[in-house]
Amino acid sequence: MFDVGFSEVLLLGIIALLVLGPERLPKAARIFGGFVRKARRSFEGVKQEIEREIDADELKRTIASMPTVASIEAQIRAPFQEVSSAIENERQSMTQGFDDLGLNVTKLDTAKLDDDISKPSNSEATPAALKLALEPALEPSKPAAT
């Protein structure tokens, strides 16, 4: 800030010695040193306060630039919705295909399935048992009498 070299400080010391004298010079130097310390502390306090304000502003800008919870939720839900709609489209396509073949998939023999489930079994469901349970559903539907 101030460009004061050694020669300028020496010149100020000699002038102060001549003006104040050897008795009052040490006391004047202590008082001057106290003022310099207070000025430095004040300057450091202001500097730290400015740095805190800058950090707070940067933090506010960072928070403002962060995505909101709603946008994150939308980003997470989008793939699930796409998969869900693809599954629904495939289900409708399969149902249409079964209807075209004349099969009625919705008419499962639920009573027979419930009986098979309620019976204690020592083994897993066998393909033969599954075939018996699904047999009525896989039969071609008969056209309704008019």
Six-digit token pair at 78? 């989008």
Q: What is the pLDDT of residues 6-62, one digit of tens each?
A: 888 888 888 888 888 888 888 988 998 999 899 999 999 999 999 999 999 998 888
Q: What's the whole-model pTM score? A: 0.39
Specify the residue for token string 């699930």: 80
What mean pLDDT comes out for the span 59-85? 88
Q: Exposed, middle or buried: residue 9 (CB in 10 Å: 0-12, 13-18, 19+)?
A: exposed
Provide the pLDDT for residue 115: 61
H helix count then E strand count, the chain: 4, 0
Cβ–Cβ < 8 Å for 141, 102 = yes
pLDDT score of 94 more than 60: yes
Q: What percent of the chain has pLDDT over 70?
A: 68
Summary mean pLDDT of the chain: 78
pLDDT at 93 over 60: yes
Q: Which two tokens stand for residue 13?
A: 């010391």
* Sequence-separated (6 or more) residues with CB below 8 Å from residue 125: 116
Q: Residues 80-106: what's their mean pLDDT?
A: 80
